[in-house]
Structures are given as C-alpha cells and as structure tokens.
Structure 1
Amino acid sequence: MAGSSPTTPDDVKTIQLLAKGVMEIYEPPLATINTHLKELTEKQEAVHNMLTSERRKLEDLQNDVMLDALLADIATSREKLTSISNSMMGLHKRVQSLQTRAANIEKIAKNKAAASQDRASKS
C-alpha cells in the first residue's frame, strides 16, 4: 500500500486478534487432518506389508511348483535310465550267449572239418 500510515498499536492488536481467530478456525481441522493422515499412513504401511508377505508366499508356492516339476522330471529320467540300463544288460547277456554259441559252432565246424579230412586221408 503506497500511501499507508505507520502501524498503530490498535492495528497491531487487530492483526493479532485476526491471526488468533484464523488460527482458532483452521487449527482444529488441520490437527484432525494430521491425525487422519497418520492413521492412513499406518494403514497403508500395514497393507503394504501384507501385500509383500502375500507376494513372497506366492513366489514360494511358484518355486515349490517348479521344484516339484523338476523332481518329477528327475524321477522320470531315473526310470528311463533304469530301463535303458536293464535293456543294455539284457543285450550284453545276449551278446555273450551268442558269442559262446558262435564259438561252440565254430568248434563243431572245425571238428567236422578235421573228421572229414581224416576220412579223406584214410580213404
């Protein structure tokens, strides 16, 4: 205010009364709002903590499902390996049996050949 006069004691008193009145009007709602904000912040933190906990549980369950799938794969692979191993053992026994049989047939064939030669040389 360009042409205002110096502040008088009455003006100061009026300003103080106005300030006091404004404070009386706005201070209680502001205090209530502050209390509500604190309550909301606490509830928000509680909800955040619950969500974090639930997310961890869900992740643990998903990890359990993946682990169960891996364990099932291991069991299946073990069964396949056992089956292959048993097949290989069976084949090995058959090969040994065939080798023994081939050796016996060869021995018989040599004996027959020797017997034929003996007959041929005696005649």
Structure 2
Amino acid sequence: MENANQTDDAKTIQLLSKGIMELYEPPLATINTHLKELTERQEAVHSMLASERRRLEDLQNDAMVDALLADIATNRERLVTISNSMMGLHKRVHSLQARAAAVEKVAKSRAASQNKPAGS
C-alpha cells in the first residue's frame, strides 16, 4: 500500500509540475525573448555612444591642435618682429660705433693739431 501511495504521490507531483510548467513556460519564454531584444538594443546604444564619444574626443583633439597651430603662427610673427627690431638695433649700434670712431679720430686730430707748436 505504501508503494501505491508513493506512485500516486509521484504522479501527482508530475502532474503539478507539468501544470506549473505549462502555466509559467510561455510567459518566461516571452520574457526571455524581450530580455534578449533589450540586451541587443542596449548593446547597439552602447556602441553608438562609444562611437559618438570617440568622434567628440577626435574633434576636441583637432581643436587643440588647431589652437596650437594658431599659437605657433602668433609666436612666429612675434619672433619675426623681435628679429627685425634686433637687426635694426644692430645696424644703429654699428652706425653709432662708426660715428663714435670718426668723432674720436677728429677729436684726436684736433688735439694733435692743438698740441703742435705754432712754428713747426
């Protein structure tokens, strides 16, 4: 009798399990399908965001390079201006040195002529 009871219990358990599976399996399959779709969409959005982020970083890097190139052009102009000023100052110094040498020569010749006795 105990063996028959166990067999009935096993059949009851199988029927209950089958009923629960028939009840919950379709919604679980639908949920699984929806989760797969959501995961795929999430991955697509993630890849789009990553692509957009890379594009923005590239644009930012390009802007930084453009700013550096603009700085190079500005600094080159300053350097050319300073160089021209230095060349002008060098010419003026050279001219003043030549003039100072001429003035010194004239001053020496005057001093020499003043130091000479009148009779010579």
TM-score in terms of structure 1 length:
0.86
Q: Give the deviation of 1:109 after TM superposition.
A: 1.3
Q: 1:98 aligns with which of 96, 99, 107?
A: 96
Q: Give the deviation of 1:22 after TM superposition.
A: 1.1
Question: Runs of 5+ in structure 1 lacking a partner?
Answer: none
| Cα distance in 1, alignment partners of residues 100 and 10 from structure 2 | 128
| Cα distance in 1, alignment partners of residues 82 and 93 from structure 2 | 16
| Cα distance in 2, alignment partners of residues 17 and 86 from structure 1 | 102
Aligned length: 118
2:56: which partner in 1?
Answer: 58
1:107: which partner in 2?
Answer: 105
What RMSD, in angstroms, separates the aligned Cα atoms of the two structures? 1.7
Q: Give the deviation of 1:117 after TM superposition.
A: 2.6
TM-score in terms of structure 2 length:
0.88
What pairs up with 1:1-123 in 2 under 5 angstroms? 7-118=5-116, 120-122=117-119
**Percent of matched pairs sharing the same residue:** 72
Q: Give the deviation of 1:9 after TM superposition.
A: 2.6
2:118 counterpart SS class: helix
1:122 counterpart SS class: coil
Q: Give the deviation of 1:49 after TM superposition.
A: 0.8
Give per-residue Cα distances to partners, 1:89-119, cap 9 Å, x unaligned.
110000000000111111111122222233x
Q: Give the deviation of 1:11 after TM superposition.
A: 3.0
Give per-residue Cα distances to partners, 1:64-104, cap 9 Å, x unaligned.
11111111111111111111111011100000000001111
